[in-house]
Chains A and B, each alone.
Chain A
């Protein structure tokens, strides 16, 4: 899995490309940790190119959300693909990690 981080001014966008599984989970935590410790408050994880997520991947997203909130910020997800959406809905985690259509929209209303 490949991660790219981009400062978009109003928020930091982290694009995740590939399969978000047991192997990729610690890498995502590392990337988000870096953004948070660099002072990033608003983080959008762009999942447009994430074709698959398992429970470890979901665990990593939840961990990253907790981390962002603990430091007074927030983390949102965008451009979620069908399999990832299925995992979010089955686990009812879409109530906490609500998908946004595009990264631009994730922090539009605040």
Chain B
């Protein structure tokens, strides 16, 4: 739990010296550190220095309290209590988007004022408790999602494999998965539509479905079976998922793959030449009655297969630029792990608002 701030700061904006003095006195008694302002200009200036509570007189000599309130709202989350001399004003004010949290009319009793302030801060601390609980839950969800990524250091003679995932929020709709098979390995990279918790739930479902078809020897049949099961789940949420699923035969270096709307798998040859493997059909769940014909790519010693999610694409104007940049990184990198780290770093810029995933499978030089 986060503790309440040690010192609560209040700002009193009021032109009447007597009322200002009274407000200051009451707030100090309630434990606030109080600053005061007699004009709108001075009030705005002092609000910028920071305040947890602002009492704001509606009729200031140099401006309208409503305008001050709106201006303060642009930079401050302080609790704003508007004070007006006219009761009938309150009704008009509550209908306006002033940004104020509460209103009180003059003359007010100190007891009423204290009651209002305490109620404002009670509301605030209750909201803070809810925020903390939500943050806790998000953090736990992030841990669960992290644990769904392959942790085992899959070692295949003559190959190196690395993967990284960074969600844009605490959890994301991207995932990658791999596991060893008698012949080599299976790997999957997917991106569920959207971001955050909803996308993460879909990603977890898709991961489980893809794993369930692992024993099916034909990649085409396996993928079609998984796609049907996924579509049934996605239809309810009107969502879709882009998928790349590949199967490596380690002895020959041949990777059979199916690409459903992903389109960002690259074959980087040892000499730096690069071929983008285009998708064979739409994302799973996007459109009914689709088939995804599989393709194959042959990894020679020194070649790499890189599968990247569209998060990284956001920093490039065209797919060709993206393709060249990724190929350049992979050719220059000392290892698959290194390549992943560099690519993830490149995506660590404000333009990238999406989840980012990178998986690199490299066949080592003989």
Contacts and interface: CB of A to CB of B under 8 A. Distances in A.
A56 B72 CA distance: 34
How would you classify the secondary structure of chain A's contact residues: helix, strand, loop or mixed?
helix
Contact of A92 (B193, B195, B264, B282): B282
Contact of B193 (A56, A82, A96): A56
A72 B236 CA distance: 22
Interface size, A (range): 10 to 19
B298 interface: no
A92 B279 contact: yes
A82 B238 contact: no
Contacts of A92: 261, 263, 278-282
B194 A91 contact: no
Given A91-B286, A92-B279, A59 B240 contact: yes
B273 to A, nearest CB: 21
Of the listed residues B194, B280, B354, the one surrounded by the most CB atoms of chain A closer than 10 A to its CB is: B194
A62 B288 CA distance: 11
Nearest to A91: B261
Contact of B263 (A55, A62, A63, A91): A91
A55 B280 CA distance: 18
A86 B318 contact: yes
Interface string A55-75: 110110011000000000000
Contacts of B282: 91-93, 95-96
A22 B194 contact: yes
Contacts of B317: 82
Nearest to A57: B193
A23 to B, nearest CB: 11
A39 B79 CA distance: 49
A92 to B, nearest CB: 5
A90 B262 CA distance: 6
Interface string A69-110: 000000000000010001101111101100000000000000
Given A62-B287, A90-B263, A90-B319, A55 B193 contact: yes
Given A54-B354, A62-B287, A93 B195 contact: no
A89 B322 CA distance: 15
B177 interface: no
Contact of B191 (A55, A86, A89, A96): A55
Given A22-B194, A96-B287, 16 more contacts: A22-B195, A55-B191, A55-B310, A56-B195, A59-B239, A82-B318, A86-B313, A90-B279, A91-B261, A91-B282, A91-B286, A92-B279, A92-B281, A92-B282, A93-B282, A93-B286
13 contacts: A55-B242, A58-B193, A59-B239, A59-B286, A89-B319, A90-B262, A90-B279, A90-B310, A91-B283, A92-B282, A93-B261, A93-B287, A96-B286
